[in-house]
A and B are shown apart, each in its own frame.
Chain A
């Protein structure tokens, strides 16, 4: 038996089968067997329960209100209008009536009951998307900059991202047997040439970025490919490794890290080099302690030079030195834009990625209506937003009309602060949440807006992110204002990341309630206004004043 039980579960699961099938047939509970809930993650399915009603249900002698979150994998975040319609149907028919865009350009459904799982998964597959490896200890949904200024570069980078994603999709046929009722071909034993029967020690994340836009937060990834262009177009990628956000409160052995450049490759090397890196993490990642199993710790423990050496041994050659890159922004450019191919694109702000019909608009219905007439594609962004991409000039008015009718034009009215805000899902579905995030950030932003308004900072692009726990799903350690949940109503306040995502923030205040957070921010906005240097961003200012903030008067504000 390994030190880490998940390793045993994987090894004994017969390539991710476990007893999921039996569990689905058990009508006495809405849950699956504990061990199987580890396995379903590899199938893109998380068992959750509505934490709002846990206590009430305990008193009612009912089990927790189990349901499942399904994550549909959308490589590079691109899907067709037909796929959108299919997903919309799943959201309204089986899930909780909402579609959730994630920080990794994917869709999530919440609240799917066990007996509806198979139908939902089948419907996703019928739409030619899938959920396999959307979660689990494998290479996850591969991200790709949503909309670079130049469409030809995007097409090439996207193709590389998709090829890499395909190459690293697990081979097991368990998924098809369990969810799609495909017969197992008895003779063909399952084989995972890249992963092996225990798969990776931990999740593995890859992103492709096209400078100057760093919307994907490429440096937060285990593996990054930053497009390098010359005057003729894409020449290759600077490969970065060892980024990651996840932290455990009170455990100093866990910390966020930014990825570092490893070398330069040409586009044809993406799959070969990427696979080799994944295999190295497979062989050297820490399988005894899950908290220490991410690639970032493997590299921390052994050094970048070790990695270069190991890679050279496996590839038979060394990588060229990394080439410089320059990022200017991470946020999405909302509204209409035209690319060099003449097409129009409309980037819409979706607060915290939650698309639903509600008092502030009928976004779910609106996007459904748009996907019924739209001929181009949808691009999900790493900021939980969506771009309606590839609209011909002729179609533009029709789409614009629907956008207005359904209140999808919020970006025209909202503050810069809100448009640069992001929160993870947290309560009530996330089992790891310690505090609210998605349900609370909008409210907190409203209060901060009053302050930025008062200090004349309303036009400032200040980036704020909140998560319900230190796992960092909204990449809060890369926010100018990062709020990391610690307990109900209590957050660790992190300040001062670079606006373009190339510098982490620092912990400024622990366990603060909203009153304390607001008081401190108010003071900081006042100082920023007085003391800022020309074109200095709020994040840069906060880092410049770090000593004052953490030790000085401010720590008692």
Chain B
């Protein structure tokens, strides 16, 4: 392929081609792979794709995506790549950059949208959603569209934003050219089928108008990120260190992993996706309880493997879903469980699910279920996200994570979350972890190097802020920074305390406010600090500060309310009136959230 490149069919001149051929020719496969990843990172997908669009007369279709943790983004990129391969021009656009008013000009579009928070759209799609349900929303009678919804059945509001988007568009007069597809965490197959249908539809009805793109001109720079969910990098664990004090109620570890040779380039604010196999003991416990032999062969994704492998590596055992419970009751002939669950209201269902893992279910409600049936009712194992707590400029080819072991013991037996337990206690130094980059552009440091930052976190939410500070420290940047942090006890739970105190002492960090909820008689949480600091917060905002909030969903909500309250108090307006100020902050991308 390299020899076929010439000045006439590539963007390079003869001299560049000579150099390219000489150096590329000597690369082995992994070096080439590395280089391609490097170039992809350097150029960015947007640049690559603008090239395609420039060649056509107008896109056959616009692919709009709203993604938080990157799954939807990946699907959108893959779809766009497929169009490219097919020689059809498609425009790829993140909702982050999309002006909702531009909707009425669109004629053909697909939406890839995930659900976050508690049934909320991803942050970058909030504006679109607000627009669609507002008075000013235009009629969209010329728009033909289709929705791909990403979600997770273990959540109460499964694919709620996809559904809402679909419904709103129809209300506004738009016409779907196919049914909405709702995907669970194993979205690949369903999403893949949806993509094929979309391509088929476009080819059949709309492709004539656009010109074939010259895909070869860009093939040197694959638009796909190199390490993906399905081709994860195997990172070696260099260090696992518990960082909560000896008698803390929390078990939080600092992990250092090697990225050597991966070319994986993350930014502070990004996360990593981590694949964690189930605990073999849990698998054995399930097999024992159901009297099944681990060696029994079963079919998983078209291949035959043993039941223990299927349960260990491919099935979700720690997070239950309504479907799994209902299917287990049905297939296992567990009438008692079926009736019980049927009678629950949504709140009871959620509680039931949160308090149990599958192993608890089979022990509480034993049944006779066959190996294959068991594998079929369980959901596929999904990767977990962890915010990076390091800056590459400082730690070079390493990445640090801050992981809290999740425990539950509602049924009297202590159970732990699969990934957090795997990382903190099972794998150990020297072990390999399959991971991939899970970028979060909306949580990066402000582009303006002088904008102050207010970092608000509870618990492991502090992780990305350590990365921020490392970045500021190692790049010699000087922007004003303020940490607002909460956890149960100062003595045991101030994560990375030494770092923070050092940054404050050297002046890199301007201020630390803390809320130790169990240290005083009155339970102080971060949102209370915001209320105590309304004037200071206002001053910081006037200086253009960006607000970052990271940690649990409930904390995130309380903090946003507190900010709104503070704005109201400062401006002498009502809480409701202050909402627009918050919306304004969001519009100007000065409030950033990373909540889980």
Contact = CB atoms under 8 A, between A and B. Distances in A.
Interface of A: 27-30, 53, 56-63, 65, 113-115
A113 B491 contact: yes
B498 A27 contact: no
Given A27-B490, A30-B491, A60 B241 contact: yes
Given A27-B513, A28-B494, A115-B490, 5 more contacts: A30-B490, A60-B244, A63-B501, A65-B491, A113-B490
B511 to A, nearest CB: 9
B245 A27 contact: no
Contacts, number: 57
21 contacts: A27-B490, A28-B501, A29-B501, A30-B491, A57-B245, A58-B498, A60-B242, A60-B243, A61-B254, A61-B495, A61-B496, A61-B497, A61-B498, A61-B499, A62-B243, A62-B494, A63-B498, A113-B490, A114-B490, A115-B519, A115-B520
Contacts of B515: 27
Contact of A53 (B242, B246, B519): B246
Interface centre among B254, B490, B494, B500 (most CB of A within 10 A): B490
Contacts of A28: 494, 497, 500-501, 504, 512, 514
B481 to A, nearest CB: 14
Contacts of A58: 498
Nearest to B241: A59
Contact of A62 (B497, B504, B512, B514): B497
A106 B74 CA distance: 70
Contacts of A113: 490-491, 519
Interface centre among A28, A29, A53 (most CB of B within 10 A): A28
A114 B516 CA distance: 13
A400 B290 CA distance: 64
Contacts of A60: 241-245
Given A63-B498, A113-B491, A27 B244 contact: no
Contacts of B244: 60
A113 B244 CA distance: 17
A409 to B, nearest CB: 34
Range class of the B interface residue count: 20 to 34
A113 B516 CA distance: 13
Nearest to B515: A27
B492 interface: yes
Contacts of B492: 62
Interface in B238-264: 241-246, 254
Nearest to B253: A60
Nearest to A29: B501
Contacts of B513: 27
A65 B498 CA distance: 12
A113 B492 CA distance: 12
Contacts of A57: 245
A27 B243 contact: no
Contacts of B494: 28, 62-63
A62 B245 contact: yes
A490 to B, nearest CB: 28
A62 B519 contact: no
A65 B494 CA distance: 12
A386 B494 CA distance: 41
B86 to A, nearest CB: 52
A404 B245 CA distance: 39
A60 B497 CA distance: 9
B154 to A, nearest CB: 33
Interface string B496-536: 11111100100000001111100110000000000000000
A63 B512 CA distance: 15
Pairs of residues from A and B, 3 with the lowest C-beta to C-beta distance, nearest first: A27-B514, A28-B512, A60-B243
Nearest to A64: B498
Nearest to B489: A113
B504 to A, nearest CB: 7
B245 A65 contact: yes
Contacts of B516: 27, 115
Nearest to B504: A28
A115 B241 CA distance: 28
A115 B518 CA distance: 11
Interface centre among A58, A61, A63 (most CB of B within 10 A): A61
